Amino acid sequence: AQSVTQPDIHITVSEGASLELRCNYSYGATPYLFWYVQSPGQGLQLLLKYFSGDTLVQGIKGFEAEFKRSQSSFNLRKPSVHWSDAAEYFCAVGPSGGYNKLIFGAGTRLAVHP
């Protein structure tokens, strides 16, 4: 069965430091992979997605992610974190099932120290 694992529940970094959020997936075919960000009490905003092609994907807000098939990973990175990046980050994989459902990881809560 398809699944997504985000091993880190909570990460704290200092402003200006680099960031890497981990995501591992289990999927029977070539996956479509997504990273979303959620601010408190808000919906989800798409940061980036990978369907095919170049395995290094650039997204909004300076984020990037690298698809590594051999490791079944799609880690999110940012070279320099800003205080406004504090939020919940979700990795997702799809499609799943006949209606192209997304399967979400448990999320990683990012705190940024000044």
Partner 1 sequence: GAVVSQHPSRVICKSGTSVKIECRSLDFQATTMFWYRQFPKKSLMLMATSNEGSKATYEQGVEKDKFLINHASLTLSTLTVTSAHPEDSSFYICSAQTGNYGYTFGSGTRLTVV
Applying CB under 8 A, which residues contact partner 1? 32, 34, 36, 41-46, 49, 51, 90, 94-95, 97, 99-102, 104-107, 109
Whole-number Å distance between alpha carbons of 17 and 31: 30
CB of 18 to partner 1, least distance (A): 25
Whole-number Å distance between alpha carbons of 107 and 87: 10
Closer CB to partner 1, 15 or 22, in the complex = 22
Strands 73-78 and 19-21: antiparallel
CB of 90 to partner 1, least distance (A): 7
CB of 102 to partner 1, least distance (A): 6
Q: Are the C-beta atoms of residues 109 and 24 closer than 8 Å to each other?
A: no
